[in-house]
Structure 1
Amino acid sequence: MSEEPNVFFDLGTLCLENHRSSEAIKHFQRALELASGIATAPEDWRSARDSKCLSGIGVAYGHLQQYEESWRYQELAHQRCRFNPHPLIQLAVLSARKNEPVSVRTFLAEAIPLMKDSPYFPDVKPLKTYLLTAPELEKYRGVVIYLLHRHGKVSQRAYELLMRLWQEGRLNRLETSFDVDAETAFTRQAPGGMPSEGFGDVFLGGLAGPKEEGLEVIRYGQLGFPARVPLQRPQALRITINRQPAQDEEGQVALHLFARQWPMKVVATLVNVRPEDFLVEGASSGVIEVPKDGDSEPLVFVLVPQSPGPKTVRVRFEQDNTFVTTARIHTEVIERAQAEPGQAMVEAAPAIEPRGLPPNFTLYIERDAERTYSISVCTGDSDPGVPAWRVGELTFEQEGSPGLYMRTRFEELDATVTSGVAAARYADAVERLGNNLYQKLFIRGGLDSFYWEQMYPRSKQRAGGAEAWSAPTVQIVSDEPYIPWELLRPYRDTGQGIEVDPLFFCERFALARWLDVQHSASSLDLFKVALVVPPSNLGFVQEEVDAFERMQREGRMKVERIESKEALDTFLTRGGAHVVHFACHGRFEQEQPGRSLVMLGSHTSLRPDDVTGKYLAFGRSRPLVFLNACDTARQSFGLTGLEGWAETFVRTAGVGGFIGSTWQATDELACRFAISFYELLSKGLPLGEAMRRARMAIKSSGDATYLSYALYANPRARVRRAAV
Structure 2
Amino acid sequence: MIAYAGGTFLAGLQVEVSVGDHARSVDGPRRTATIESLEFVPGEVTLQVSYAGAGDRYLFQILSDHATFSPVPVESLTGQPGAAVNIARDALSRLARGSTTYGTGTAEEWLRQVGMNLWSEMVPAVIKEQFWQLRGTMASLSIASANDVIPWELLYPVSGDNDNGFLVEQIPVMRRVHDQTRSRRVSVSPPHFIVPEKSPGNALDEVAAIGRHVGPSAAGQPIDDLSALLELLRSGDAGLMHFACHNNFRPDGGGSMIELRNGRFVPVMLSEARLRRTFSRRRPLVFINACHSASEVPQYTEMMGWARQFMAAGAGAFLGTLWDVESRSAAAFADAFYSGFTAGSSLGAATLQGRLAAKAERRGDPTWLAYSAYGDPAATASI
TM range (shorter): 0.7 to 0.9
For residue 683 of structure 1, report the CA deviation from its aligned partner. 1.0
Alignment of 1:59-74 (within 5 A): none
For residue 543 of structure 1, report the CA deviation from its aligned partner. 1.5
SS at match of 2:96: helix
For residue 412 of structure 1, report the CA deviation from its aligned partner. 1.2
Hey, what does 2:91 align to over in structure 1?
412
Hey, what does 1:318 align to over in structure 2?
4
Query: Does residue 435 of structure 1 match 2:116?
Result: yes
Specify which structure has the bigger relative contact order, considering alpha-carbon pairs within 8 angstroms and separated by 6 or more residues.
2
Query: Does residue 611 of structure 1 match 2:270?
Result: yes
- Give % identity: 26
For residue 508 of structure 1, report the CA deviation from its aligned partner. 1.2
User: Is there any run of 5+ residues in structure 1 with no aligned partner, and where?
Assistant: 1-314, 383-387, 460-471
- Selected match of 1:361 from 45, 50, 69: 45
Q: Contact 2:95–2:365 at 8 Å: present in 1 too?
A: no
Alignment of 1:520-539 (within 5 A): 520-539=182-201
Query: Does residue 679 of structure 1 match 2:362?
Result: no
User: Is there any run of 5+ residues in structure 2 with no aligned partner, and where?
Assistant: none
Alignment of 1:486-497 (within 5 A): 486-492=153-159, 494=160
- Selected match of 1:426 from 102, 107, 112: 107
- Selected match of 1:638 from 291, 299, 324: 299
For residue 477 of structure 1, report the CA deviation from its aligned partner. 1.4
Change (3 A) 1:710 1:562: same
When Rg is computed on C-alpha atoms for both structures, the one with the higher figure is: 1
SS at match of 2:92: helix
Change (3 A) 1:710 1:352: farther
Query: Does residue 690 of structure 1 match 2:371?
Result: no
- Selected match of 2:63 from 342, 354, 378: 378
Within 2, Cα distance between the matches of 1:425 and 1:692?
24
Hey, what does 2:322 align to over in structure 1?
662
Hey, what does 2:381 align to over in structure 1?
719
Within 2, Cα distance between the matches of 1:355 and 1:677?
28
Equivalent position amino acid for 1:613 in 2: E
Equivalent position amino acid for 2:90 in 1: E
Change (3 A) 1:717 1:549: closer
Hey, what does 1:598 align to over in structure 2?
258
Change (3 A) 1:341 1:605: same
Change (3 A) 1:559 1:445: farther
Change (3 A) 1:550 1:656: closer
> What do residues 661-714 of structure 1 show as CA deviations (whole Å, max 9, x unaligned)?
000000011111111100100110100011011111121321111110000100
SS at match of 2:14: strand
Change (3 A) 1:373 1:486: same
Hey, what does 1:452 align to over in structure 2?
132
Within 1, Cα distance between the matches of 2:223 and 2:14?
38
Change (3 A) 1:716 1:618: closer
Q: Contact 2:60–2:73 at 8 Å: present in 1 too?
A: yes
Within 1, Cα distance between the matches of 2:181 and 2:279?
18
Within 2, Cα distance between the matches of 1:610 and 1:562?
17
Change (3 A) 1:514 1:639: same
SS at match of 1:440: helix
Q: Contact 1:591–1:638 at 8 Å: present in 2 too?
A: no
- Selected match of 2:27 from 340, 343, 352: 343
Change (3 A) 1:537 1:660: closer
For residue 345 of structure 1, report the CA deviation from its aligned partner. 8.0
- Selected match of 2:74 from 394, 403, 406: 394
For residue 527 of structure 1, report the CA deviation from its aligned partner. 2.3
Equivalent position amino acid for 1:366 in 2: S
For residue 413 of structure 1, report the CA deviation from its aligned partner. 1.1
Within 2, Cα distance between the matches of 1:557 and 1:476?
34
- The number of equivalent residue pairs is 372
Equivalent position amino acid for 1:317 in 2: A
Change (3 A) 1:329 1:551: closer
Query: Does residue 547 of structure 1 match 2:218?
Result: no
> What do residues 229-266 of structure 1 show as CA deviations (whole Å, max 9, x unaligned)?
xxxxxxxxxxxxxxxxxxxxxxxxxxxxxxxxxxxxxx
Within 1, Cα distance between the matches of 2:132 and 2:163?
10
For residue 525 of structure 1, report the CA deviation from its aligned partner. 2.6
SS at match of 1:654: coil
Q: Contact 1:479–1:515 at 8 Å: present in 2 too?
A: yes
Q: Contact 1:685–1:718 at 8 Å: present in 2 too?
A: yes
Change (3 A) 1:346 1:641: farther
Q: Contact 1:360–1:381 at 8 Å: present in 2 too?
A: no
- Selected match of 1:474 from 118, 124, 141: 141
Q: Considering only aligned residues, what root-mean-square deviation do their CA atoms show, in Å?
A: 2.6
State the TM-score, normalized to the length of structure 2: 0.88
Within 1, Cα distance between the matches of 2:328 and 2:226?
25
